[in-house]
Structure 1
Amino acid sequence: MLKNQKLLEQLTLKEKALLMAGQGEWQTRAIKGKLKSIFLSDGPFGLRKQSGAGDHLGLNGSEPATCFPSSATLANSWDPAVGRAVGRALGREARRLEVDQVLGPALNIKRNPRGGRSFEYFSEDPYLAGKMAAGMIQGLQENGTIATPKHLAVNSQETRRMASNSVVDQRALHEIYLTNFEIAVKEGKPKSIMSSYNEINGSYANESKWLLTDTLRKDWGFDGYVVTDWGGDNDHVSGIKAGSNLAMPGLGVNAAEEVVQAVEKGELSEEVLNQRVDELLTVILEAQAKPAAGNFSWEEQHAVARDAAKKSLVLLKNKDQILPLAKGTKVALVGDFAKNPRYQGAGSSLINSRDLESLLATAKDYPIDLVGYAQGCPRQGEAKPELLKEAMSLADKCDVYVVNVGLDESAESEGLDRPNLSIPPCQADLLEALAKTGKPIVLVLSGGAAIELPWEGKVNAIVHEYLGGEAGASAVWEVLTGKYNPSGRLAESYPLTETDIPFDNEFPAEKHNAYYKESIFVGYRYYETAGVKVKYPFGYGLSYTTFAYSNLEIDDQGASLDVTNTGQVAGKETVQLYIGKEDSPLLRPKRELKGWAQVDLEPGETKRIKIPFDEYSFRYFDQSLETWQEEKGHYQIMLGRNVADVVLTGEYDLKRGIVPKESSSSYGKYREGKLLLVTDQDFADLYGAKLPKNLPAGRRELEWNDPLREMANAKSWLGRAVAKWLANKIQQSLDESKPDLNFLFNYNMPFRAMTKMMGDMISRPMAEDILFIVNGHFWRGTGRLIRDYFQNNRKVKNDKDVQE
């Protein structure tokens, strides 16, 4: 007996088919007299509810909302309670705007920091990402709002994001790219989850029964419903069979007709359809039964945003303890960001912030003497001598420069990946010029991901705010003036140079198959194993005080130690637990994060803490047995300030588990951390199968799942012209620091997605006609398109829809 058997018996086959796709851009399907719809909204770190005409790309305006720090920022707090507080505040705002479901948090692994949506993701480490996501999910769902962790799974690049196959070995798949979601699902218990656009080893994520049913529901105990990313429904019926419940946006009656016909032909069991509808109905009916919204205060929301930003700030450098700034310090404030802040990412997460702060506007609220402000350089483009001169002239008036630079909007956006790890050259020129004045420079960095810092020696202090949300400016001043002792720790590694990133020259994959050749050696797992020095290691962050560790004890439950504040001010330390196994025959990183604990200490105070072992501490995925195992034997238990600064080390003997077989000798390059020498054949040996091949470059017949960017290789001059026009439009928007997601989305959208993003406006035959034209059959294709256009119009007009 299904949970909603009575309601299911009232629904016709067509009504059940209609429920498998949305009603327009942001709502689930309503069935007249039987079921009301619920409203969904973008919202990884702020609500983007469009009250007028809705669109997933953010072209139309949205309601004013609180902009909280991005997920990449929150992860630096290493505190799930911070994520929970932000989630709780998001839930309050959702209730106020009558939003039932929030599309977030996003928790994909930062495989390469040049990934365009790195600012939306928590970490390069799955354990940290999962724990932080679970906290936000718990907060979001406290008052009945539905959380939607995304994008499941192995979604690592924006280039070709809807037409890319992630080729990944089983250990990396489970240990790196699924463990984050497993923790988020088991501990956060979300009521929905979003599948990703990409294929995983040849199967679309939204059509993978192994992923959506066997793993998500059976192994992890997920009891909610699966929604596609917008336009991410490839084969509608296959998705339903696999375990997908809702295709978004609304697909119209054509999609429902597909489902009805599949049932009538015996290609889809009505029992399976009933199961999918029941899973969806359970969540919808629960959401509609939640109590009315309570009291709401914009001031409280802003305070939550400020507190989260403050606890997530990372102090990277503090030469000669120039920070905190003494009371009355004469400060010259420089940088376009200081007046027009870079506080959020671009794309579908773009928030219409209600109460945006800037460093310039909030400086008056703190005990410094602001002697002047200068832009210094444009937000992007060439340096301007007059702007440099204006900034340098403030040297005569100030004791210190506070300079705000970083990544501008054109560098970080949904729909494109970063070309490099550099900040705009004009900003680097600004730092060089100010250094010549001899005045100390306190640098405030803005941006959502790792950058190169070749100019680091020119500055005296670096405070990294990441993307701090609307209240990030006052949070920065609280740290700069010592009102708050910085406690943030990096959730990702900062390489010395981009060339240190394994297989960076192959990222992003420009062709269909993306080879995840680094396997489990993502981020610090590679740098530590290979002995590659980094600028700032994973877990790194300074404080205005110092801490000492002592008296390590290890038992079957975990590791205990004393932590002492050896400095002069109160502070918070994040003690990190890493585990390694030097004598393992398996491929293993030198150390992996398996837990942490935060402790607040007054000067001279000592507290004893314990970091417990859990189900993730010693497990690895056994590819031959296709299951999780634990390896028996001796482990190194390491407690440190960051992954490269291990303070205490002990041994632990795990008496349970198995003794695995010796790894193949062909894995030697992986074992030694020599990833730069790994060939496609080496990866194929690890992958355990022949690698799928990419098509050669050049003009060819385009296929149904090719993205529109491939029209550059089309036989038709018209297709090539359209591809060139799209590319030019994208570059124009980037030059203006205003990435146009409409063009970016279309450039990476496959032909099949035309039918998914435009409801009944374009039928499958019409989309196939467009492809036929692009492949060089202009006149015949145009004739077919006109015929199919009128046929589709008649069918839609004659169909009796069943909505409120």
Structure 2
Amino acid sequence: MKHFACNDMESARMAVDIQVTERALREVYLLPFMIAVEMANPRLFMTAYNKINGTHAPDNEHLLQEILRDEWKWNGLVVSDWFGSYSTAEGINAGQDLEMPGPSRWRAGALVHAVTSNKVKRSTLDERVRKILQLVKHSIEKTSIPPNAPETQLNSQEHIRLLREAAAESVVLLKNENNILPLNPKKKVAVIGPNADMTAYCGGGSASLRAYHTISPLEGIEGLASDVVFSKGIYGHRSLPQIGKILRTVDGKRQGFALRVYNEPRPSSGDDTRRVIEERFLDDANVWFVDYENPELAEVWYAEIEGVLTPEKSGVWDFGLSVHGTGEFFIDGELVVSNVTNQTPGSSFLGCGTIEETGAKELEGGKEYNLLVRWGCDKTSNLKVSGVVDFGQGGLRLGGCPRLEQPTALNEAVELAKTVDQVVLCVGTSGEWESEGQDRPNMSLPPGSDELISAVLAANPNTVVLIQSGTPISMPWVDQANAIAQAWFGGNEAGNGIADVLFGVVNPAGKLPITMPRRVADNPSALNFRSEGGRVLYGEDVHVGYRWYDTLGIEPLFPFGHGLSYTTFELSQISVIPDTENQEVVVWAKVANTGSRAGAAVLQAYVKPPSATPLTALARDTITRSSKELKGFAKVHLEQGANTIAEIKLDLLRATSYWDEREDCWRSEAGEYTVLVGTSSRCAFLEQSFTVEKSTTWRGLRG
């Protein structure tokens, strides 16, 4: 489980102090970890980089010992995030068992000194070691993988089927006026937009892995529709697309390029007589040496990547080089980009690297060009950025693509939209816009996206705006669009899953796990979203997400839990029965499929407290509670015309409790609570009340 806890922003993530009340910490930020311990008993917790109320997470005894181990009775291993340790004695005493990665920077000799100077008890050290050995023992005894087993792939047809199903199930239909959707696969469809021919299958950072395969929205649509045309309209990249896969090695035998490692820089004149320490062949030009090792490597070392580019058409190409270290980019020996001196910090390499420095060159179609990057490791650069994780070694990223004249390309897309019966307009972000190591400065789509969307919608109202992003975006064109679908980062089979929903192979049933605000200023954290003076105040307290909008009466663009279907559902006949013996509240509601096809409904059960105190209340002993909170849900599949009774079981104490900061415990207040059952956080609810006869306090786990 990671990251424990309050790792909600990337701004100065190693240094920022999260200022949060104990109540918000318990009710919002620790609750997911608490539930995970109850349900799954994970063997390992990874700490966050940030501070919580003045103390770094791996040094935080309140989190690691008092709550995780003493109160929750958890008995696993606590490990730091990579380079996320900040002390010796403090971390050991607080409960951090293992520092990563090795070799240790804060333990080893420093730990010996801490023990011999009585800053760390030997019994405490024994306990830290015991947790490591227990995990090793557990892993050996429970694994089904034999020692030294060869690597295998999880890429069977069953895996692919499951990925496609998951991608389709996750799509949220936000708007569908005039029944634009589902599309007709027999009619001509134009696929337009910067995200159409790329697969935004995951976010950026350490969660980003090389996929076995990916399916773009365009490929998915082409697999189901008989007549498909495509126009990009605009580029949507933040950095120029990494160029590795369109290169060939100098000998022409391989896709990609050669990577050569040296212990000396290339001589400024004369023959290059350096010895190659290692040579590899790659096709990903985002080369990060974070875990690169070679016994012959000097403390300061160098690398080159070299490949051949053959453009299909003549025209201007733009190239970009970002580095953690230093680098120069050459085409046929001509310097095109230099990123060596006067470097500017950027978001590359999780914030350790530079901005992308760019250059351009006119290239002739069909001609071969030699591309060469000369790079020096991180120690060759004077650029140092505070508050970020310096993984060391360094990296380089080479991007490039033909220059797109945006007004011309946008007009071509608009004209294409006028010629077809239906349009799928693919926009959004990607792993380079939404990534570990950086925060989005706003909710805007990439530059030019809103202009493209408005122009295409004006040209053809039968347009579906398909959004791929992991977070909310601004939609200044929302009233202009008849159909909008949110497809997130849908994994390897994203394109096929999207196509299944667009053409009605799958009836959408996804629900928003977030609130889509109308404007940035409506966000709960609008004034508290970055490190200021080394800290950030969680000023919204427990009123996070939909709780904020509902409690303050702010109208969202699309509410939490919202999601349409190609059929319709009707809810009726609610029943709420408290079961004090089993400490449950059993909620039943009748749901009927009143539409024209089979589909799935997601019933959401919210609980309204006895008195949601106004935020302006002056009474000394009142507790401000959100107007309602989601406490359970159920998904039911129904054929056309069918109905059923959906059951949602709520934990009685968890459904009614808040964290009492004065008494340092959970408190379930006596009083009348109301259960609201609906299909989003803003809808016509079925309501019924139940009574808690006696106030109760409790601590620890519920499972």
TM-score by length of 1: 0.62
Q: 1:547 aligns with which of 565, 569, 572?
A: 569
Q: Does 1:222 align with 2:259?
A: no
Q: Distance in 1 between matches of 2:139 and 2:426?
A: 43
Aligned to 1:699: none
Q: Distance in 1 between matches of 2:144 and 2:41?
A: 20
Q: Does 1:625 align with 2:663?
A: yes
Q: 1:435 aligns with which of 457, 461, 467?
A: 457
Contact 1:346–1:413 under 8 Å retained in 2: yes
Between Structure 1 and Structure 2, the one with more helix by share is 1
Contact 2:469–2:488 under 8 Å retained in 1: yes
Q: 1:386 aligns with which of 396, 400, 408?
A: 408
Aligned to 1:654: 692
Q: Distance in 2 between matches of 1:377 and 1:258?
A: 55
Aligned to 1:286: 138
Aligned to 2:644: 607
Aligned to 1:213: 65
Q: 2:173 aligns with which of 277, 292, 315?
A: 315
Give the match's secondary structure for 2:459.
coil
Aligned to 1:563: 591
Q: Distance in 2 between matches of 1:438 and 1:539?
A: 30
Aligned partner of 1:657: which letter?
S
Q: Distance in 1 between matches of 2:228 and 2:593?
A: 36
- What's the offset of the Cα at 1:190? 0.8
Contact 2:88–2:114 under 8 Å retained in 1: no
Q: 1:301 aligns with which of 159, 174, 192?
A: 159
Would the alpha carbon gap of residues 277 and 312 (structure 1) be closer, same or farther in structure 2, given more than 3 Å must change?
same
Q: Distance in 1 between matches of 2:131 and 2:568?
A: 52
Would the alpha carbon gap of residues 431 and 215 (structure 1) be closer, same or farther in structure 2, given more than 3 Å must change?
same
Aligned to 1:345: 203
Would the alpha carbon gap of residues 586 and 335 (structure 1) be closer, same or farther in structure 2, given more than 3 Å must change?
same
Would the alpha carbon gap of residues 550 and 231 (structure 1) be closer, same or farther in structure 2, given more than 3 Å must change?
same
Aligned partner of 1:607: which letter?
T
Q: Does 1:515 align with 2:537?
A: yes
Aligned partner of 2:639: which letter?
E
Aligned to 1:494: 516
Q: 2:428 aligns with which of 387, 403, 406?
A: 406
Once the two structures are superposed, residues 461-482 of structure 1 have per-residue CA deviations (whole angstroms, 9 ceiling, x without a partner) of 1111100111100000000111
- What's the offset of the Cα at 1:659? 11
Unaligned runs of 5+ in 2: 147-151, 239-403, 579-584, 613-621, 699-703
- What's the offset of the Cα at 1:199? 1.1
Q: Distance in 2 between matches of 1:351 and 1:270?
A: 41
- What's the offset of the Cα at 1:221? 2.8
Aligned to 1:365: 223
Aligned partner of 1:211: which letter?
L
Aligned to 1:377: 234
Q: Does 1:469 align with 2:327?
A: no
Once the two structures are superposed, residues 235-293 of structure 1 have per-residue CA deviations (whole angstroms, 9 ceiling, x without a partner) of 12211111111111114376211111211222111111111111121111221232227
Q: Distance in 1 between matches of 2:213 and 2:153?
A: 19
Unaligned runs of 5+ in 1: 1-148, 661-804
Q: Distance in 2 between matches of 1:263 and 1:207?
A: 17
Contact 1:492–1:538 under 8 Å retained in 2: yes
Give the match's secondary structure for 2:521.
helix
- What's the offset of the Cα at 1:582? 4.4
Q: Distance in 2 between matches of 1:215 and 1:208?
A: 10
- What's the offset of the Cα at 1:184? 1.4
Would the alpha carbon gap of residues 254 and 364 (structure 1) be closer, same or farther in structure 2, given more than 3 Å must change?
closer
Contact 1:363–1:370 under 8 Å retained in 2: no
Residues 524-533 or 234-243, more deviating: 234-243
Q: Distance in 1 between matches of 2:696 and 2:44?
A: 36
Aligned to 1:53: none
Give the match's secondary structure for 1:563.
strand
Q: Distance in 2 between matches of 1:295 and 1:402?
A: 34
- What's the offset of the Cα at 1:207? 1.1
- What's the offset of the Cα at 1:295? 9.0
Once the two structures are superposed, residues 561-616 of structure 1 have per-residue CA deviations (whole angstroms, 9 ceiling, x without a partner) of 11111111111111001011242532100000111111111111111122112141
Q: Distance in 2 between matches of 1:573 and 1:611?
A: 13
Would the alpha carbon gap of residues 440 and 236 (structure 1) be closer, same or farther in structure 2, given more than 3 Å must change?
same
Once the two structures are superposed, residues 519-578 of structure 1 have per-residue CA deviations (whole angstroms, 9 ceiling, x without a partner) of 111111110000000001111100111111111111113211111111111111110010
- Quick check: which has more Rg, 1 or 2? 2
Give the match's secondary structure for 1:653.
strand
Q: 1:578 aligns with which of 590, 606, 609?
A: 606
Q: Distance in 2 between matches of 1:486 and 1:230?
A: 39
Q: Distance in 2 between matches of 1:297 and 1:644?
A: 40
Once the two structures are superposed, residues 156-178 of structure 1 have per-residue CA deviations (whole angstroms, 9 ceiling, x without a partner) of 21001000111111111110111
Aligned to 2:632: 595
Contact 2:202–2:430 under 8 Å retained in 1: no
Would the alpha carbon gap of residues 643 and 279 (structure 1) be closer, same or farther in structure 2, given more than 3 Å must change?
same
Give the match's secondary structure for 1:162.
coil
Q: Distance in 2 between matches of 1:466 and 1:554?
A: 35
Contact 2:609–2:656 under 8 Å retained in 1: no
Contact 1:573–1:599 under 8 Å retained in 2: yes
- What's the offset of the Cα at 1:503? 4.3
Would the alpha carbon gap of residues 237 and 484 (structure 1) be closer, same or farther in structure 2, given more than 3 Å must change?
same
- What's the offset of the Cα at 1:310? 1.3
Q: Distance in 2 between matches of 1:248 and 1:541?
A: 42
Once the two structures are superposed, residues 139-197 of structure 1 have per-residue CA deviations (whole angstroms, 9 ceiling, x without a partner) of xxxxxxxxxx1111112210010001111111111101111110112112111011111
Q: Distance in 2 between matches of 1:322 and 1:442?
A: 7
Q: Distance in 2 between matches of 1:352 and 1:323?
A: 33
Q: Distance in 1 between matches of 2:608 and 2:677?
A: 11
Aligned partner of 2:129: which letter?
V
Give the match's secondary structure for 1:348.
coil
Aligned to 2:674: 636
Give the match's secondary structure for 1:183.
helix
Q: Distance in 1 between matches of 2:176 and 2:84?
A: 46
Contact 2:603–2:633 under 8 Å retained in 1: yes
Aligned to 2:366: none
Give the match's secondary structure for 1:456.
coil
Would the alpha carbon gap of residues 193 and 254 (structure 1) be closer, same or farther in structure 2, given more than 3 Å must change?
closer
TM-score by length of 2: 0.70
Would the alpha carbon gap of residues 190 and 372 (structure 1) be closer, same or farther in structure 2, given more than 3 Å must change?
same
Matches within 5 A, 1:55-74: none
Q: Distance in 1 between matches of 2:71 and 2:697?
A: 24
Matches within 5 A, 1:218-297: 218-252=70-104, 255-289=107-141, 290-292=143-145, 296-297=154-155
Contact 1:166–1:513 under 8 Å retained in 2: yes
Aligned to 2:51: 199
Q: Distance in 1 between matches of 2:214 and 2:14?
A: 34
Aligned to 1:103: none
Q: Does 1:479 align with 2:486?
A: no
Q: Distance in 1 between matches of 2:160 and 2:100?
A: 32
Q: Distance in 1 between matches of 2:539 and 2:218?
A: 46
Would the alpha carbon gap of residues 411 and 297 (structure 1) be closer, same or farther in structure 2, given more than 3 Å must change?
closer
Q: Does 1:527 align with 2:546?
A: no
- What's the offset of the Cα at 1:624? 0.3
Aligned partner of 1:317: which letter?
K
Q: Does 1:457 align with 2:479?
A: yes
Would the alpha carbon gap of residues 267 and 510 (structure 1) be closer, same or farther in structure 2, given more than 3 Å must change?
same
Q: Distance in 1 between matches of 2:203 and 2:161?
A: 21
Q: Distance in 1 between matches of 2:678 and 2:654?
A: 19
Q: Distance in 2 between matches of 1:253 and 1:508?
A: 29
Would the alpha carbon gap of residues 384 and 343 (structure 1) be closer, same or farther in structure 2, given more than 3 Å must change?
same
